[in-house]
Structure 1
Amino acid sequence: MPLAQALVKGILSFTEGMPNANTRPKRTRRHRRVQREDAGRNELVSRSLESAQQCLFSQDYGTAFVHYLLALNLAPALKDFAKESFRFTLFKWAEELDSIGRIQDLFDSYEQAMELFPVDEIIINSMGEQLFRMGFRDEAAGHFYKALKLRPDFPEAKENFYRVANWLVERWHFLMLNDHGRNHKYQLAIKKAVEGGCSSVLDIGTGTGILGMCAKMAGAVEVYACELSKTMYELACEVLSSNGMADGIKILHKKSLDMEVPKDIPNRVSLVVTETVDAGLFGEGIIETLIHAWKNLLLPPPNPQQPLSSSAQTGRVIPAGATVYGVAVQCEEIRRHHRLCVSSIGGLDLSMVGQIYSPVCCSADSEDSTEPYTTERLSRLRGGYVQLTQPFSALDIDFNNPQELEGLCSREVQQLRLYVTQDGLLDALAVWFQLHLDEDNHLSTGPQEETCWEQAIYPVQTLFNAVKCGDEILVEVSCKDSYLRLCCIAIIRDGHMFCFDSGTTGPSNILPANPEAALCSALASLQTRHAQPSQAFTLESSEIALLNNTAYHISFRKAMSTLLASLQSARSSQELDPVFVLDVSEGFSVLSLIAAQLGFKPAEDKQTSNRSGLVKAYSSVEKEHHQMILRLLAGANGVPESALEFWLRHVEDDSAVLQRPNTQRLWSAIILDCIETCGLIRQKLLEKASLARCLLEDGGQIFPQRIVIHGMLVESETLLVENAVQGTEPTLGFNIAPFINQFTVPVHMFLDLSTLECTRLSEPAELFTLDLMNSTLNYTEKQVKVQVSTSGKITAIPFWYRIELDSEESVISFSPGSHWKQAAVVLQQPLVVSTGDWVQLSTRLHKSSISINAIKCGGGGGAEGE
């Protein structure tokens, strides 16, 4: 490859002549004696370097790597001169090993490289990237963190660390530690139990170690803790040491299910404390955890027949139990993420594709492995929600009753009838719980509470979801697979049951019904189902929200139509070759099909009504059911099968996804997916755009052409408490903040700015522009002055995008119906401003990482976030 050869030549010119007099070590008596004796070694080093260079020219990276290892191990003094070429060889050899599936050899090569260059931040960061890509997030974070320690201004390591930190230390840790009410109630319950005789304590899923430290401070004689996450385990060890409890609390990097007595702890404990609960209560495996604890780690529970005066020790659990509540809701935001709500998008008729749902499913016939709920903070949902029923109690559980825990999954399915109090569309059941720490201390995760928990959302995925006041919703509650499952199975109206699973009406098995009427209903149902498509597909909730974003698809159709008209007018009437369009969007996308349809259907405007050229569209979707949906849509919309190709069939690896359609032609249009749903710019976007420009024919276009970043100044306490432990006072008297705040991520993602609790201190402003069609118009940093409209403290700068498909058509990522969320840079130090002040924002983009520096003009402080 010409590019690779050029790189090799450049690298080799850098290393040429390395074994010379200038590279000799300092002359000492010992070195003079070694040099006289090692002429053969020097000859071997020289030949190894020469062989490495020859192998690089022939692109034999594995052999070149071995030669470099030999030479640099024999002659460490040459490492500084050979560093660049060695890195290049390592990275190319790693690519080759990865492509043929030799993953262990890949990691072995990196280990050998780091033995040679133990403080090379570039190699260490690259090792972290390989680990993260393979799913080893804890290990990856350690490498990114080490690379940053070696070079704090290393942008690649900084970006990588920020991205992986969201996986390793989830944002709820900060919320939890900032939730003073929650912390205090846990402390009170633990103190009461220890003073009541629980002298030995096990903290399961210790996190930062705060609950174990509460037990030790309350006077517990023996305290143990376990933590599965390597990152959190190491963080907890640092916290314990800082608080003088490293000797008083034994912490294990282990899952509690793997713990044994006396291997891990010497005796059974009298108290287990844990908070291994998620928004759906059981989603983090607390049932399995406590069953194992009662069988293997805890003293037995009190025996009701045993005299109170007995001195036998017993065990207990904090929390002692929980009550689960729920309510049926109407919510457009939930609906558009879990069910296709439109019949057409961008000129495509969707009716023949059947039903499209999200994989979050809790139907009666769903597989046990299916995730039954998602999570949302109801108070922050765009457009709000409407309660269609009164809140109801779904379940009570006693964590101090081992028999009840063991029988939970085999409990008989419970049926509840919810009385509908308001007309509306049944979109979901929203669920929360009250955690009973003991008899006196309780925590609620309800939607009206100020809590670190979100609510569990069970979407209702049925076409028949309209309810009227007076209807009853039949709900089944079960825990057969240790997940709490709430399933809406029917609506009861005027004595008849409308079943959700089949979408048919039929006789109720609870209320008497007319058999003749039931037969007529069943026959009508059969006729209805015969006329409708029978397919049902699942897409990710973000993909469904994208399909429901009609404004985006309409704008794309108009922009593509304009491009096709321009290309047609530029071609001679004899040119009948198709227009080649490539869609490399992430996940499911119908943009390639919209382009293909435009080539076979007269356009809406007069400019393109006489166009006779055809479109050959290529889609990069890989999943079989994605391809099936596109084929069905193509057939239903008059697009011949030959007009749509699935491009990844034509490439051998992901790096070749942007290639020419054939040796003679270039692409007429390349569609790039530029913005992640979370609100960040996609990684390696500029690199993809640079390659895409080289593959366009004259007059061709990248979609979108430009991305304009907008932002504003805000004061938001919410963003602060979700981003770092706040205040200078220790948490419950413990020094925790400095350790967990190391994992603070300046860029906060998945925001809905329309519902964020904040004070807007300025009007929106354009901060930065990325031109994907003309790299000469781009810059690495831009300064913009923004005037303050309201006095306050600037704590964050939310940002969003205007995505310009062409000069006429654009969409805003912060708009009603958008499938994109927003993001915000949270400043390290708030900036106090007054109305009329000017603030200079310096926005930098390194690869896909945005950083913003805020400085008050005319003096004052500054703050920065990335």
Structure 2
Amino acid sequence: MPNTSARPKHGRRPRRRRREDPARNELVSSSLESAQQCLLNQDYGTAFVHYLLVLNLAPAFKEFAKDSFRFTLFKWAEELDSVGRIQDLFDCYEQALELFPDDEVVLNSMGEHLFKMGFRDEAAGHFHKALKMRPDFPEARENFYRVANWLVERWHFLMLNDHGRNQKYQQAIQKAVQSGCNTVLDIGTGTGILGMCAKKAGAAEVYACELSKTMYELACEVLTANDMDGRIKILHMKSLDMEVPKDIPQRVSLVVTETVDAGLFGEGILESLIHAWHHLLLPPPGAQAQSGENELKEPSATGRVIPAGATVFGMAVECSEIRRHHRLCVSEVGGLSLAAAGELRSPVSCTSLPDDSMEPYTTERLSRLPGGYKSLTEPFTALNIDFNNVQELEGLTSRKVEQIRLLVTQEGKLDALAVWFQLHLDEESSLSTGPQEDTCWEQAIYPDHSIKGFVLKPGDELIVEVSCQDAFLRLCSVAVVRDGHEIRLDKRLDQQHSGNPISNPNPEAELCSALACLQTDQNQTKDFCVLESSEIALLNNHDYHQSFSSALAKLINQLKVACQNQEPGLGVESDLTGKPLFYVLDVSEGFSLLSIIAANQGHVKAYSSMEKNKQQEVLKKLARSCNIPEEHLEFWLNHMEDEHGMLQRPSREKLWSAIILDCVETCGLIRQKLMEKASLARCLLEEGGRIFPEKIVVHGMLVESDTLLLESAVQGQEPTLGFNIAPFINQFTVPVHVFLDFSTLECRRLSDSVELFVLDLMNANANYTDREIKVQATSAGRLTAIPFWYQIHLDQDISVSTLSQNSHWRQAAVVLQQPLEVRVGDWVRLTVKLHKSTISMTAHIEEVPGQME
């Protein structure tokens, strides 16, 4: 209650009114006028400077000038971006955010530039803040979803949902702490779960480090929610940069970590453990006498690591799905012979000489590969490693290359070596990442590039080399021994007669055939071009290229007929000059043969948007091999200073006969700004011209899939050992699951496939932004997701599906936040919306079925 006896205080004196400054007012007025004039003249840089001056001198103008200022900022940023003045671009955004710190549009736009430059953590922060300012801001929400896939990869959810894995780690940590490991460091803590296990087990001091800013901030939130924020010290840094006593007061007795990928060493566990043993961990048992460090207060204290070690296994496999993503399997596509293309390589290659541009392995879940796989050998032990032996860790990268001989047990093509490991947490407990295990890890795949179509036979011996160069585990098939003869897989044909000669290849004609198809040693030739695995798969998609070839031929023939009808005396057949009559623009992302396929139709000048020099050289070689005149192929972006001008006319007097748009990302999403590009493309077509494709039909199906749930969000506290983690990691849940292979997805199909949405690229009037459809359940179950794919219509008669067996595309699925229980015969009402290029869906049970309008 107020103190009524207190003497009343004097009221504050009214502020003296600020005296008008005529000179200041004149400067503001003239600068505002100049800003507006510069804006009209499209002098965005000068306009931006004038607006900054006005808004700093006269904040009262902020609301009045906000829209014009935003527009000026964005246009000026585009110009700075186009000329590579990136620092200036970000300086402008910083200045803008000083004036408008809570402007969600500016925050979102800066986030887009940050993401484009590779600053994903910072971009996520801007998108997240924009959403806090305006939760219904669709652009910021879609951008946040995209960046969330980069920052918190989907395996985080699967790993945290793996109760068996979490429990085994908890038990190993508890045993170590109870046996005397009282101080603990969690390296690469992620959400902090292993550090919390150590603290719960009774460790006196627990430290954790995390390099990712996003994961560090998330871990801080998790620790606070579990009442451990003051009990676990978490550092935002690499363990390699940590020092005693600067970062932690003394060496610890236990390091826990799970910085292992499918290839075991790919996340840098070797380097971090070697550094830890030298700088952060107490010495192992028996090493105290050699250590004279003052910080060791207890002479009997020793250090250890969880996991204690690992055993790596492998086997040779035949797998058509791996083959088509890493090796060219066709000799021609779309009527083009690929003989002149030279060697085309996947970026995944385990050569004997490490190359920074190549990855030694990729990852796959073998149990989900379409078409399955065949084991050509029994599993073999490739490596044993003791993480508690620092000398062994240090000697691994210099260890002599080991050769292992594997007996071939089944006939098949040698496509890859598949690798997995058993992680030994301690002497009693282990985790396996094998292909038959229900685990959050995939397997490491080492594709074989050495021989095309070589068939291994039972009784052959496959010689595999195992090494650990540049801290990556490397496995490479180098030779096959058959009937006492050694066929080198890593040498050229003319080198086969050195070493073990093949005196009589006649016992098996296939041996001679194998020698004939040996490819050039990868280290002996420079005539090669590296393509992404998805681009190799696209080249192997014969139906895709044949469909485009047929559709382009139909269009060109129609245009030729129209040209002849307009000028009967000057028909195409009488045009002896070879001058192109038709212009085709291919704006496909990455490596594309469609421009060459178009130019091969005759009387066509094709423009390709390919940027990489090596890839351009491949197209030029193919064009020469098809006798396409050099001037009939042009690389459009070579002459463009501004990529935003990509969709323009080839010359003042000509319009495009066809524009080929790349509509679907490999991951299964519609490409960003597709409809905007289509709108622009329609304005640039000649009469009778066409956009390829002309229409995209989205198809989908109702399914029940626990797998998708587990990979999309942490399912409560039970799998995370009772720790409260789900609400924080699930902030990064995205509604659309990408890179899905529907043909091998573990799911129950609850309906037939239905048409969900149509995007008409040739007719803007036929498009809509949302649609409601009713789908009848054909099976009972929990509706958890709606997988979707596309039928891409090149014209009325020719189409390709992203669901086909040879597709280089994957599928996507909308995962529902709350599963729906459906019965046979129930009608489910789906609301499908398209915002820009993002498809979203919601589902509701329709109580009373109604007719569709």
Q: Does 1:587 align with 2:600?
A: no
The 8 Å contact of residues 549 and 817 in structure 1, kept in 2 or not, is answered as: yes
The 8 Å contact of residues 121 and 147 in structure 1, kept in 2 or not, is answered as: yes
User: Per-residue deviation at 1:579?
Assistant: 0.6
The 8 Å contact of residues 427 and 465 in structure 1, kept in 2 or not, is answered as: no
Aligned to 2:691: 702
Aligned to 2:335: 347
Alpha-carbon distance in 2 for matches of 1:546, 1:516: 37
The 8 Å contact of residues 488 and 496 in structure 2, kept in 1 or not, is answered as: no
Q: Does 1:804 align with 2:788?
A: no
Aligned to 2:630: 641
Alignment map for 1:819-858 (pairs within 5 Å): 819-858=808-847
Aligned to 2:3: none
Q: Does 1:417 align with 2:405?
A: yes
Aligned to 1:770: 759
Alpha-carbon distance in 1 for matches of 2:97, 2:661: 36
Alpha-carbon distance in 1 for matches of 2:348, 2:381: 22
Q: Does 1:383 align with 2:388?
A: no
User: Per-residue deviation at 1:364?
Assistant: 2.8
Find 1:297's aligned residue among 257, 272, 280: 280
Aligned to 1:276: 259
Aligned to 2:561: 569
Give the direction of change, closer, same or farther, for the CA distance of 1:664–1:516 in structure 2 (3 Å limit).
closer
User: Per-residue deviation at 1:314?
Assistant: 0.9
Look up the equivalent residue of 1:110 and give its one-letter code: Y
Give the direction of change, closer, same or farther, for the CA distance of 1:728–1:260 in structure 2 (3 Å limit).
closer
User: Per-residue deviation at 1:39?
Assistant: 4.5
Q: Does 1:553 align with 2:545?
A: yes
Superposed CA deviations along residues 522-566 of structure 1, whole A, max 9, x for unmatched, are 999799989xx9943321100000001111111111100110011
Look up the equivalent residue of 2:39 and give its one-letter code: L
Look up the equivalent residue of 1:598 and give its one-letter code: Q
Greater shift in the superposed pair: 357-366 or 803-812: 357-366
Alpha-carbon distance in 2 for matches of 1:824, 1:254: 35
Aligned to 1:16: none
Greater shift in the superposed pair: 251-260 or 368-377: 368-377
User: Per-residue deviation at 1:509?
Assistant: 8.6
User: Per-residue deviation at 1:29?
Assistant: 9.2
Give the direction of change, closer, same or farther, for the CA distance of 1:529–1:95 in structure 2 (3 Å limit).
closer
Alpha-carbon distance in 2 for matches of 1:471, 1:59: 72
Find 2:172's aligned residue among 189, 192, 199: 189
User: Per-residue deviation at 1:305?
Assistant: 9.6
Look up the equivalent residue of 2:52 and give its one-letter code: L
Aligned to 1:10: none
Find 1:408's aligned residue among 372, 396, 400: 396
Corresponding residue SS for 2:471: coil
Corresponding residue SS for 2:17: helix
Give the direction of change, closer, same or farther, for the CA distance of 1:728–1:312 in structure 2 (3 Å limit).
closer
Alpha-carbon distance in 2 for matches of 1:584, 1:697: 17
Superposed CA deviations along residues 622-643 of structure 1, whole A, max 9, x for unmatched, are 1111111111211222322222
Superposed CA deviations along residues 195-238 of structure 1, whole A, max 9, x for unmatched, are 11111111000000011111111111111110000000000001
Alpha-carbon distance in 2 for matches of 1:390, 1:451: 21
Q: Does 1:539 align with 2:531?
A: yes
The 8 Å contact of residues 475 and 487 in structure 1, kept in 2 or not, is answered as: yes
Aligned to 1:263: 246
Alpha-carbon distance in 2 for matches of 1:528, 1:150: 62
User: Per-residue deviation at 1:465?
Assistant: 2.7
Superposed CA deviations along residues 458-516 of structure 1, whole A, max 9, x for unmatched, are 00112253111111111000002110000001111111111112353876999786599
User: Per-residue deviation at 1:858?
Assistant: 2.0
Give the direction of change, closer, same or farther, for the CA distance of 1:808–1:734 in structure 2 (3 Å limit).
same
Superposed CA deviations along residues 437-470 of structure 1, whole A, max 9, x for unmatched, are 0011100000100100000000011225311111
Find 2:344's aligned residue among 343, 356, 379: 356
Aligned to 2:662: 673
The 8 Å contact of residues 124 and 144 in structure 1, kept in 2 or not, is answered as: yes
Corresponding residue SS for 1:598: coil
User: Per-residue deviation at 1:58?
Assistant: 1.5
Alpha-carbon distance in 2 for matches of 1:516, 1:716: 53
Give the direction of change, closer, same or farther, for the CA distance of 1:584–1:44 in structure 2 (3 Å limit).
same
Alpha-carbon distance in 2 for matches of 1:41, 1:445: 71
User: Per-residue deviation at 1:30?
Assistant: 5.8
User: Per-residue deviation at 1:46?
Assistant: 2.2
The 8 Å contact of residues 505 and 525 in structure 1, kept in 2 or not, is answered as: no
- Tell me, which stretches of 5 or more residues in structure 2 are unaligned? 1-11, 291-297
Aligned to 1:128: 111
Aligned to 2:427: 439
TM-score, scaled to structure 2: 0.92
Corresponding residue SS for 1:37: coil
Greater shift in the superposed pair: 217-226 or 461-470: 461-470
Q: Does 1:153 align with 2:153?
A: no
- Tell me, which stretches of 5 or more residues in structure 1 are unaligned? 1-27, 600-613, 861-866
Alpha-carbon distance in 2 for matches of 1:481, 1:323: 19
Corresponding residue SS for 1:33: coil
Moved over 6 A (4+): 304-307, 505-513, 515-518, 521-530
Aligned to 2:295: none
Find 1:233's aligned residue among 206, 211, 216: 216
Give the direction of change, closer, same or farther, for the CA distance of 1:74–1:366 in structure 2 (3 Å limit).
closer
Look up the equivalent residue of 1:111 and give its one-letter code: E
User: Per-residue deviation at 1:112?
Assistant: 1.1
Identity of aligned residues (%): 68
Superposed CA deviations along residues 380-409 of structure 1, whole A, max 9, x for unmatched, are 000000111101110000000000000000
Aligned to 1:140: 123
Q: Does 1:459 align with 2:462?
A: no
Give the direction of change, closer, same or farther, for the CA distance of 1:111–1:624 in structure 2 (3 Å limit).
same
User: Per-residue deviation at 1:741?
Assistant: 0.3
Give the direction of change, closer, same or farther, for the CA distance of 1:516–1:492 in structure 2 (3 Å limit).
closer
Count, aligned residues: 813
Aligned to 1:692: 681
Aligned to 2:35: 52
Greater shift in the superposed pair: 39-48 or 493-502: 39-48
Alpha-carbon distance in 2 for matches of 1:745, 1:260: 38
Alpha-carbon distance in 2 for matches of 1:57, 1:44: 20
Alpha-carbon distance in 1 for matches of 2:797, 2:770: 26
The 8 Å contact of residues 492 and 519 in structure 2, kept in 1 or not, is answered as: no
User: Per-residue deviation at 1:359?
Assistant: 1.3
Give the direction of change, closer, same or farther, for the CA distance of 1:32–1:789 in structure 2 (3 Å limit).
farther
Give the direction of change, closer, same or farther, for the CA distance of 1:372–1:39 in structure 2 (3 Å limit).
same
Aligned to 1:205: 188
Alpha-carbon distance in 1 for matches of 2:469, 2:393: 12
Aligned to 2:488: 499
Alpha-carbon distance in 2 for matches of 1:55, 1:30: 41
RMSD: 2.5
Alignment map for 1:166-177 (pairs within 5 Å): 166-177=149-160
Give the direction of change, closer, same or farther, for the CA distance of 1:40–1:536 in structure 2 (3 Å limit).
closer
User: Per-residue deviation at 1:701?
Assistant: 0.5
Give the direction of change, closer, same or farther, for the CA distance of 1:768–1:428 in structure 2 (3 Å limit).
same
Look up the equivalent residue of 2:654 and give its one-letter code: R
Alpha-carbon distance in 2 for matches of 1:167, 1:846: 21
Look up the equivalent residue of 1:673 and give its one-letter code: D
The 8 Å contact of residues 342 and 618 in structure 2, kept in 1 or not, is answered as: no
Give the direction of change, closer, same or farther, for the CA distance of 1:527–1:200 in structure 2 (3 Å limit).
closer
Find 1:780's aligned residue among 769, 778, 783: 769
TM-score, scaled to structure 1: 0.91
Aligned to 1:320: 308
Aligned to 1:813: 802
User: Per-residue deviation at 1:376?
Assistant: 0.3
Alpha-carbon distance in 2 for matches of 1:828, 1:72: 44
User: Per-residue deviation at 1:645?
Assistant: 1.1
